[in-house]
Amino acid sequence: MKKLLAIFVFIAFACTSSVQKPEKNNESKVTLEQMLMEKSIYDFTLNDIDGNPVDFGQFKGKKLLLVNVASKCGYTPQYADLQKLNEEYGDQVVILGFPANNFGGQEPGTNEDIKQFCSANYGVTFQMFDKISVKGADKHPLYRWLSDKDLNGWNDKEPSWNFCKYFIDENGELKKFFPSSVNPMDDEIIQLIKA
């Protein structure tokens, strides 16, 4: 009888312990999710194309257009439109270019190659960054934030090709995703800038 009672107590203790553990794990998970939700676009620091760190905190209060770019793509002429947008609306929106070699190997060059190409062919003066990955297992945390609704609040779309665009408002909120086919000078982008 004592053995049976001891077994019953042991089973009861084991069941109670296993019930409590998931609660602790759920609490940890919620805390982690809350931390991820609190992360904003302004928490990032990335190197520019020259290797200098750029703290995104400096963009507080400004509208941003983030674009994954490539030098050997059918959409590469959009560099000209991005530069035009920069020249006409640069006081209202900051354009950030992120070279990436994720699509068809269309950005094989080094940062120096990319910088030279952009300057010589399109006169690019908007902010360009270090080449990163914008999709896949090695996706940069910035693009993880841009394409994960648990982090940015609503959007799960990652770049489907080169020259996809993400529009961030002056409060740091992701407002719109544009596929490659949408030109940087499109009316919808201009209206978001002017709003």
> Residue 164 catalytic?
no
- The tokens describing 110, both together, are 């080094």
Looking at the chain, list the stretches that DSSP marks H as alpha helix, in order from N- to C-terminal side: 2-38, 78-89, 111-122, 141-146, 149-152, 187-194
Phi, psi for 66 (deg, rounded to 5) = -100, 130
Q: What angle do CA 155, 174, 73 make, to 5 degrees?
A: 75
Give me the amino acid identity at 185: M
Q: What sign does the CA torsion over 157, 48, 173, 40 have?
A: positive
Distance, CA of 84 to CA of 190 (rounded, Å): 12
**How far apart (Å, rounded) are the C-alpha atoms in residues 61 and 51?**
25
Catalytic member of 15, 73, 118, 164:
73
Q: Which residues have a catalytic role annotated?
A: 73
